[in-house]
Structure 1
Amino acid sequence: MRTRLAVAGLAVVGVLLMANPLYLPVPIGEPDPAYTHSVQPAESGSPVAGVDAPEQGNGTADGVVDYADLDPEARAAFDRALDSEAGFGVEDPDERVDSLSYPTEPTPGDGLLLVAYEGERYEFWTRTVEREPGAVVAQRIAVQPVAFLAGFFAVLAAAALGFRGRIDRT
């Protein structure tokens, strides 16, 4: 009787530990936002392909914006993103450029500008990226795999104990 209870207990604990992706990670704290800036050449497959320059004015929400028409802070961010291969990010909301928007899902005119610069067209992406808190990352990297393995070994132990009990009875 004790063997059956041990087998059942190990099997239940093992299954619960192996099912940890269903309940882990436990969110601890708020997401940590970062504000990214990146520039890449506008190519034929881009979301803003085929957008033409407006006939007059500084550009439209879905048109080409001339580099000279950008706000000085936006020009500085464009230059910095163009100079760095992967763009750059800032973590402090006060370091964002006020004239640019930072949506989580950029669309043309809202987080994605087509900028004419030195005879070329560039996509200027600005977005908010919500990063998981460090405790959640630690749960994903350490706790989940360890719990899954412990559950797997508990199920194996339950199976071995159950088979040993059957062999002993015969």
Structure 2
Amino acid sequence: MTVAALLDRAKAQNVTIATAESCTGGMVMAALTDIAGSSAVVDRGFVTYTNAAKRDMLGVRQTTLDAHGAVSEEVAREMAEGALDFSRATLAVAITGIAGPGGSEFKPEGRVCFGLSGEGFATETETVEFGALGRDAVRRAARDHALALLDRGLSLIDPKTGKQPEQPRKN
């Protein structure tokens, strides 16, 4: 599915989108907003590169960061849920990972964790091991995977209830 088709489908379902990005630094939001008319669907994007930004902007708990580290499905879950809570969106995707270079034995380069949260369905998380493809390739692959997750999220949201909240759930 193209990004334009994704946006058309979201618009038809009355779904609005937010993103919470770490290792991609806004690449998902850039892909969405590159398409004319995206303002009918895109609410906002959070670039939360540091742990402090994840806490301050999305409400990620310090206890979660301490217990699991920033690159974890638990943090991706809280990022996605925070993107919904602090926006007017009805669908959110989150990305946190190690684009490289670097990584460790336990968290290798190319490991990216994703969260998908939306109105009317339980938050989903997953980890993808893209491998040591190099920083740019990992970031592009993570962007593309996040866009595919948004498409999946559209399948999970009831098109009749995809309406946008009047205000962010939290301030």
Shorter-chain TM-score tier: under 0.3
Q: Which of 1 and 2 has higher RCO (CA within 8 Å, sep 6+)?
A: 1
Higher radius of gyration, 1 or 2: 1
| Alignment TM-score, normalising by the size of structure 1 | 0.22
| Alignment TM-score, normalising by the size of structure 2 | 0.22
